[in-house]
Amino acid sequence: MLTTTTTTDPIALDARHVLQVYRRAPVVFETGKGCALFTRTGERYLDLISGVGVASLGHAHPALARAIADQASALLHTSNLFHHPLQSELASQLAALSGLPRAFFCNSGAEAVEACLKFSRRFWYTQGTPRAKFVAFHHSFHGRTMGALSVTWDDHYRAPFAPLVPGVTFVDPADPSAIAAAIAQDTAAVIIEPIQGEGGVRPLAQRSADAIAAACRRTGALLIADEVQCGMGRTGRPFYSTALGLEPDLMALGKALGAGVPIGAALFSDRVAAAARPGDHGSTYGGNLLACRAALVFLDELTRGGLMEQVARTGAYLERGLRAIAARQPAITSVRGAGVMWGLELDRPAGAVVEAALERKLLINRTSDTVVRLLPPYVITEREIDEALPLLEAAIATVVEAPGA
């Protein structure tokens, strides 16, 4: 029989009733404002991870909060059995931004990746020359559903859930000749993260991007850009794949797009979209009025409110600050990223830096074991960067000075 607890402490209740798949820090946040999060007792933390790249407009953004409340009192959800004006408006705005004219809406990044994988195969099936294989990259991360996991590199995520979708080849993203050899006439699609996020904040090199583009042209393989983490203006440009000169046939979006309201999107070129038939795919919640309204507020801020230019400016300021820290802290072996997406590679595990930062009320995280990652809200100001960087440097210094370090 289920034994229930009488405690109301969220940490104790989580430990008892929530599936233990996360290593949560022992902090409970109740409110937020801009780049700050507050505990029940009013302690303020500076948030440079934004819910893993989601709170693009910061917390409790006034225009977003108003729009959500307004939408809740008008209509939240009708399913995809009917039309509503916000999904079509969002699809057309994403088409204008990306050059990919058709969208499928879902609720997360992994679902967007699933849709891209499925419709890559659907495209080849419709051509009458089925191709089932995918090429992905070392250090890739595309999500945790079975399909997305199948194109995710790290065995740590994969092994407990095998067997996964067969036919995936992983290739070194820094090796253009290996890329050229791996992409073949039977490749349905190549899936890239233009800047790998979970794999350690690793931007794709221009010569690798060129090799991918050439191999896709040569073999007809489709190109999927997973822009879930690095896209939607995070680098001060709409999408990092297009900044590399790539022309993806499919794109996966999520995270920042809903600014905290769950939404994902897969975008398609006309020729890939032409293969889709009613009933091929779907999502009960996908693209409902609430999620689309939130995404439209985000896009309005990004494109008309000057947020993309702000990210380019503050991102450059953040980069200068991080490089200055790296020049003083020899434990930092590399600084990688763009805009408001940065990784500091350390010569040691990065977990202790994250804990030392938390003690200083600065929220960052670790990825790929040795990389400290920053994904601040797009709205972060130079003043907040000036506040955060000394805390970050102190956290790094503590770990370097720790006994036995």
365 forms part of the interface with ligand PLP (CB under 6 A): no
Closest alpha carbon to 197 in 370, 343, 312, 315: 343
- Residues 129 to 168 in contact with ligand PLP, rule: CB under 6 A: 141-143
* Number of C-beta neighbours around residue 118 at 10 A: 16
Q: How far is the CB of 231 from ligand PLP (least distance, A)?
A: 9
Helical ranges in 244-339 per DSSP H? 270-273, 289-299, 307-328
Residue with tokens 């404002």: 33
Helical ranges in 128-191 per DSSP H? 146-150, 155-158, 176-182
CA count, 13 A, side-chain hemisphere, 37:
20
Of 192-200, 293-301, 318-326, 340-348: span binding ligand PLP (CB under 6 A): 192-200
Exactly one of 37, 149, 228, 396 binds ligand PLP (CB under 6 A); that residue is 228
226 forms part of the interface with ligand PLP (CB under 6 A): yes
Report the residue closest to ligand PLP, judged by CB: 109
* Number of C-beta neighbours around residue 220 at 10 A: 14
Q: How far is the CB of 106 from ligand PLP (least distance, A)?
A: 9
Q: How many chain residues touch ligand PLP (CB under 6 A)?
A: 14
124 forms part of the interface with ligand PLP (CB under 6 A): no
Exactly one of 71, 87, 208, 229 binds ligand PLP (CB under 6 A); that residue is 229
Spatial separation of the C-alpha atoms in residues 388 and 405, rounded to whole Å: 24
Tokens representing 237 are 């440009």
Of 38-46, 190-198, 298-306, 362-370: span binding ligand PLP (CB under 6 A): 190-198
Q: Which amino acid is at 187?
A: T
* Contact string 246-265 vs ligand PLP (x = CB under 6 A): --------x-----------
* Contact string 194-213 vs ligand PLP (x = CB under 6 A): ---xx---------------
Tokens representing 270 are 């006309």
Of 17-25, 55-63, 102-110, 155-163: span binding ligand PLP (CB under 6 A): 102-110
User: 194 Cβ partners below 8 Å, 6+ apart?
Assistant: 203, 204, 209, 225, 226, 227, 230, 231, 239, 240, 241, 243, 244, 246
368 forms part of the interface with ligand PLP (CB under 6 A): no
Tokens representing 362 are 């600065």
DSSP string, 16-30: HHS-S-----S--EE
114 forms part of the interface with ligand PLP (CB under 6 A): no
Q: How far is the CB of 152 from ligand PLP (least distance, A)?
A: 9
109 forms part of the interface with ligand PLP (CB under 6 A): yes
Q: How far is the CB of 117 from ligand PLP (least distance, A)?
A: 12
For ligand PLP, the closer of residues 51 and 220 by Cβ is 51
Spatial separation of the C-alpha atoms in residues 69 and 321, rounded to whole Å: 38
Q: Tell me the chain's radius of gyration from C-alpha atoms.
A: 21
377 forms part of the interface with ligand PLP (CB under 6 A): no
Q: How far is the CB of 39 from ligand PLP (least distance, A)?
A: 25
Tokens representing 157 are 């995520």
Residues forming the site for ligand PLP (CB under 6 A): 108-110, 113, 141-143, 193, 197-198, 226, 228-229, 254
